[in-house]
Chains A and B, each alone.
Chain A
Amino acid sequence: MAEVTLNDVRKVYAGGVEAVKGVSLDIPDGGFCVLVGPSGCGKSTLLRMVAGLETISSGQVAIGGRVVNEIEPAERDIAMVFQNYALYPHMSVYDNIAYGLRNRGTPKDEIDRRVQEAARILAIEPFLQRKPRALSGGQRQRVAMGRAIVRKPQVFLFDEPLSNLDAKLRVQMRVEIKKLQRALGVTSIYVTHDQVEAMTLSDKLVVMSGGQVEQVGTPTEVYRRPETRFVATFIGSPPMNILPGLVDGDGRVSVGGLTLAADDLPAGLEPGRHVDVGVRPEEVEVAPAGAPGAPFAIDFVEELGATELLHGTLGGSPFVLQVNTGAVSPGTKAVTLAIPSRCVHVFDAETGKRLGRAESATARAA
């Protein structure tokens, strides 16, 4: 059993930078938790506090029920995969993988068995005698993984392990990491700023910003019901459109003269209150000619192959729409959009917090 629990964890660096401002998290045994957020938001710092590479300014980190604040990294029973792999350049691949076991006094034949097993799982058997420098980026990545899995730790920690790989390899390794984690059932914390990695890998997605957790949930929850404007624009590609608007009565908002229905908008808000209205580019459809809807003026089109992005204006604000290629005939200057009321997200203009009903209501609606 190795659940990881963070309790109001803070990090203040010498010099006064507060990199992590009170984070509480529960990661169940065998869970795959992804920390995602923009650069500098404190993801690495948080991960490194779990690893023991950074002291914890206040709060508690517990692994498998044991508070590890004062425990050395080696004794925390964790393994870490670094962005630049951090392989020992002077050691062979075999020694790189075996090093951690040797330091723990594991018997030689046991080490050999485990290294061979890890090498088999990761398909790096042919390279065992090579030095890291004689490997490609993808192979080095596997060695780094091998070094992590050979110890059979309670927790895997990954700090942007794929960001040095090319796009194709990244997709491939992403799938492999997921499979491997499933097969081994080891609790994992994974830091990335790539939202595709975040969505596909996690069963618990943590969106961070400015040293704080913005939202925790399954990828679907976070995508469907972003709790803040920040999460709404950060998760999803292309990002959600945000239009300035006003509350227009129960369940309705107005955006530059258009009135949109919003299912999730709670009743009883004062009309005329300033809000930000969020609409995902991929959730809007072009209405058949003559049907009622919101008029959208198209400025230009970006083609992505299967889909295309229509850039234009809706209710006086810039707006992006994603449609299947061919859904709008080339040269069209204006279309009418059908914006489903369940896809309209409303955020407080000042705090950026979602204006929504109790969670259960949307859960039912979704």
Chain B
Amino acid sequence: MVERKHWFSTLLPHAILILGVLIVAFPVYVAFVGSSWDAGTIANGTMPMTPGPYLVENYSRVILSGNATAREPVGPMLFNSFVMAMIIALGKIAISIISAYAVVYFRFPLRKTAFWLIFITLMLPVEVRIYPTYKIVADLGLLDTYGGLAIPLIASATATLLFRQFFMTIPDELVEASKIDGAGPWKFFKDTVLPLSITTVAALFVIQFIYGWNQYLWPLLITTREDMQTIVIGIKKMLVTQDALTEWQLAMATAVLAMLPPVVVVLVMQKLFVRGLVETEK
């Protein structure tokens, strides 16, 4: 289709998009700039708009020795966050793809009930069920463990519903052709459903990884030991200090570092994502 576009019709959407990008990117830029000055410059009230000379010093302090209040260096906290986010993302995908598969492809008693039970949990996010969940995790002795951090967040109605929605778009004939080709439920899952779901999996992985990475309330509750702390909590602790000046430059540097893993995940997954979109077709 050849369509000559008026310059205005290309310009306007771009102008809006650029404006949007600027609005979103500006705080990130400020955080980056803030991480390149010393505490004094930031504390006197006006934040400079250009990077300063303390970049290397701030980052090496954050990475190597931590700061005055949260004495942990950033490395272990990043690692904890990463492990937690990975367990949550992979766990959510594994559990929800299996339960969606069961709900869509198997006829078993109380199938509808099972589906609605999953659906109802949408109304019960962690915050609502936090006390019983805490009790269970504590009784199981999972406080201050990766298991305790991640497992209660793994069950996911959203992901199950998404997979279910996707599975329902796979034509019935493919199931039937597989049956005739001698593929049982496991082979059909492994050879057809999984490869076809790869884009959905990639999309969910990105969303759930970031969800896990950004967890605040639950890790705050469940971790007491310094070495089990996640980066989000680390940042928070840097900001609230009783006796000392908040070291903004270090908090900013930590925040910038905390942003990197999700960014990497998005970039890596985006490729798979796009490749999946281009290569497969229902």
Interface presence of A78 (CB below 8 A): yes
Least CB distance, A159 to chain B, in whole angstroms: 9
Task: Give A53 to B173 CA distance when docked, in angstroms.
Answer: 10
Q: Which residues of chain A from 76 to 102 have any CB-CB distance to chain B below 8 Å in the complex?
A: 78-80, 82-84, 86-90, 99-100
Return the contact of A73 from the options B179, B191, B196, B282 (Cβ within 8 A). Answer: B179
Cα A288 to Cα B166 in complex, Å, equals 69
Residue-wise interface mask of B (177-193) relative to A, using a CB-CB cutoff of 8 A (1 in contact, 0 not): 10111110001000110
Q: A86-B177, A89-B281 are known contacts; what are 8 more A-B pairs with Cβ within 8 Å? A: A53-B180, A73-B180, A74-B181, A82-B176, A87-B177, A88-B177, A90-B192, A90-B279
Q: Is A72 an interface residue (CB 8 A)?
A: yes
Asked if B124 is an interface residue, CB under 8 A from chain A, the answer is: no
Contact yes or no, B279 A131, CB < 8 A: yes
- Are B179 and A86 in contact (CB-based, < 8 A)? no
Distance (Å) between the CB of B112 and the closest chain A CB? 14
Please report whether the interface of chain A is mostly helix, strand, loop or mixed according to DSSP. loop
CA distance A72 to B181 in the complex (A): 11
Q: Is A51 an interface residue (CB 8 A)?
A: yes
**A104 engages B182 (CB within 8 Å):** yes
With CB as the reference atom, state the residue of chain A lying closest to B170.
A89
Residues of chain A within 8 A of B282, CB atoms compared: 89
Q: Is A133 at the interface (CB under 8 A from chain B)?
A: yes
What are 13 A-B pairs at a CB distance below 8 A?
Answer: A52-B179, A73-B179, A74-B179, A74-B182, A80-B176, A82-B176, A82-B177, A86-B174, A89-B196, A89-B282, A99-B181, A100-B181, A100-B182
Residues of B within 8 A of A (CB): 171, 173-174, 176-177, 179-183, 187, 191-192, 195-196, 279-282
Task: Note all chain A residues with C-beta closer than 8 A to B171.
Answer: 84, 86
User: Across the interface, which residues of B come within 8 angstroms of A83, CB to CB?
Assistant: 173
Whether the Cβ atoms of B280 and A74 lie closer than 8 Å is: no
A351 within 8 A of partner (CB):
no
Known: A80-B176, A80-B177. A88 touches B192 (CB 8 A): yes
Residue A74 contacts which of B180, B192, B279 (CB distance < 8 angstroms)?
Answer: B180
How many Å lie between the Cα of A216 and that of B3 in the bound state?
Answer: 58
Residues of B within 8 A of A131 (CB): 279
- B192, A53: Cβ atoms closer than 8 Å: no
Q: B264: shortest Cβ distance to chain A, in Å?
A: 27
Q: Are A51 and B195 in contact (CB under 8 A)?
A: no
Please give, as numbers and ranges, the residues of chain B lying within 8 Å of A103 by CB-CB distance: 181-183, 187
Contacts of A88 in B (CB 8 A): 174, 177, 191-192
When the two chains form their complex, are residues B281 and A133 in contact, meaning their CB atoms are under 8 A apart? yes
> Whole-angstrom distance from the CB of A94 to the nearest CB of chain B?
14
A73–B195 CA distance with the chains assembled, in angstroms: 24
Q: In the complex, which residue of chain B has the Cβ closest to the Cβ of A78? A: B180
Q: Kindly list chain A residues whose C-beta atoms are within 8 Å of the C-beta of B180.
A: 51-53, 73-74, 78-80, 100
B176 surroundings in chain A (CB, below 8 A)? 51, 53, 73, 80, 82, 86
The CA-CA distance from A228 to B177 in the complex, in Å, is: 37
Chief secondary structure at chain B's binding surface = helix
Give the residue among B171, B181, B195, B196 with the most A Cβ atoms within 10 A.
B181
Residue in A closest to B180 when the chains form the complex, CB atoms: A73
Chain A residues, Cβ within 8 Å of B182: 74, 100, 103-104
Q: Smallest CB-CB separation from A159: which chain B residue?
A: B173
The one of A74, A78, A86, A104 that contacts B173, using a Cβ cutoff of 8 Å: A86
Complex interface residues of chain A between 222 and 247 (CB less than 8 A to chain B): none
Closest to A87 in B: B177
Tell me the complex Cα distance, A78–B179, Å: 11
Complex Cα gap A103–B185 (Å): 12
Residue of B nearest to A82 (CB): B173
Q: A304 to chain B: closest CB distance in Å?
A: 37
| Nearest B residue to A51, CB-CB | B180
A84 contacts B173, C-beta separation under 8 Å: yes
The answer, among A72, A84, A90, for a CB contact under 8 Å with B179, is A72
In whole angstroms, what is the CA distance A126 to B196 when docked?
A: 25
In the assembled complex, which residues on chain A have CB atoms less than 8 Å from the CB atom of B280? 89-90
Chain A, residue nearest B195 (CB): A90
Which residue on chain B has the smallest CB distance to residue A105?
A: B182
Residues of B within 8 A of A72 (CB): 179
Residues of B within 8 A of A53 (CB): 176, 179-180
A78 to B180, CA, bound (A): 7
* Whole-angstrom distance between the Cβ of A347 and the nearest chain B Cβ: 39
Kindly report which residue of chain B lies nearest to residue A98, judged by CB atoms.
Answer: B181
Which of A74, A90, A131 has most B Cβ within 10 Å? Answer: A90
Residues of A within 8 A of B183 (CB): 74, 99, 103
Which A-B residue pairs are the 10 nearest by beta carbons? A86-B173, A74-B182, A100-B181, A103-B182, A86-B177, A90-B195, A133-B281, A73-B179, A82-B173, A73-B180
Looking across the interface, which residue of chain B has its beta carbon closest to that of A104?
Answer: B182
Contact residues of A between 50 and 82, Cβ < 8 Å to B: 51-53, 72-74, 78-80, 82
**Chain B residue with Cβ nearest A53:** B176
Q: Looking across the interface, which residue of chain B has its beta carbon closest to that of A134?
A: B281
A51 to B279, CA, bound (A): 31
Q: Which has the most chain A C-beta neighbours within 10 Å: B179, B182, B191, B280?
A: B182
B170 CB to nearest chain A CB (Å): 9
Min CB distance, B230 to chain A, in Å? Answer: 37
User: How many angstroms between the C-alpha atoms of A288 and B220 in the bound complex?
Assistant: 104
Inter-chain CA distance A162–B196, complex, in Å, is 26
Residues of B within 8 A of A78 (CB): 180
**A 116-132 binary contact with B (CB < 8 Å = 1; else 0):** 00000000000000010
